Amino acid sequence: MAARKILVLFAHPALQKSRINIRLLTAVRDLPNVTVHDLYERYPAFDIDVAHEQAQLLSHDVVVWHHPFYWYSSPALLKEWQDLVLEHGFAYGRDGTRLHGKLALNVITTGGPSDAYSKQGYNRFTLRELLAPFDQTAALCGMRYLAPFVVSGTHRLQPERDVPAYAAAYRHLLAALSAGTLDLARAAAADTINHLIPAGKVA
């Protein structure tokens, strides 16, 4: 199988203040077959080039929505990207089959700890449940949605121990997706994809 090409659609309106996401991006930028596309850097005025974005989607096999988990969703520009780029007749509808068969997943960071995202936690829902709009968006577009890669409790992470471990895990995940060595059936069914990464690769 030919290596899959991965498009990382990164959305963070204040990247300079993020000690986690910068490390995550640095870990994957040099991977072969991975394109990191910083939406806020390219579109500071939200003037999205729809034709360019659709061409990017067509030239890649995996779409990664990488963003902090803002109010149980994504930063505004990523929602604007979805609204404009995933057009009827292109991404969905009778003739909207251009994305069929591609893979999609979220890579998210949360300030709250992992146990906050449960039936018993203060957020009352799992992350997989809260990401249902992304899951259904992928389904409507004929894409296969995989469980999210999650970095939780970012305010409490140790910068010299935890953060490098998550960065290495992210790199391993994208490399496995590109090489076709990730178990997609398990990745689609899981609550998070983190536990599918070999021991020692993730905190």
Residues 64-80: tens digit of each pLDDT: 999 999 999 999 999 99
> Across all residues in the chain, what is the average pLDDT?
93
The answer, yes or no, to whether residue 203 has pLDDT greater than 50, is no
The total of other beta-carbon atoms located within 10 Å of residue 90's CB is 18
Q: pLDDT: is 156 or 203 the higher one? A: 156
Residue 174 is inside which H or E element, if any? helix 162-179
Q: What is the pTM of this model?
A: 0.94
pLDDT of residue 166: 92
Say what the pLDDT of residue 39 is.
97
The DSSP string of 54-121 is HHHHHT-SEEEEEEE-BTTB--HHHHHHHHHHS-BTTTBSTT--TTTT-EEEEEEE-SS-GGGSSSSS
Instruction: Decide if pLDDT at 201 tops 60.
Output: no
pLDDT confidence of residue 199: 52
What's the whole-number mean pLDDT along residues 111-139? 94
**The CATH number of domain 6-196 is 3.40.50.720:** no
Check residue 71 and give left, alpha or beta (phi > 0: left; psi -120 to 50: alpha): left
CA distance 191 to 198: 16
Cβ-proximal residues to 87 (8 Å cutoff; 6+ apart), any chain? 50, 54, 96
Average pLDDT of the residues in 156-160: 78
pLDDT tens digits for range 101-117 = 999 999 999 988 899 99
> What's the confidence (pLDDT) of residue 68?
96
Please provide residue 8's backbone torsions phi and psi, each rounded to the nearest 5 degrees: -95, 110
At 31, the amino acid letter reads: L
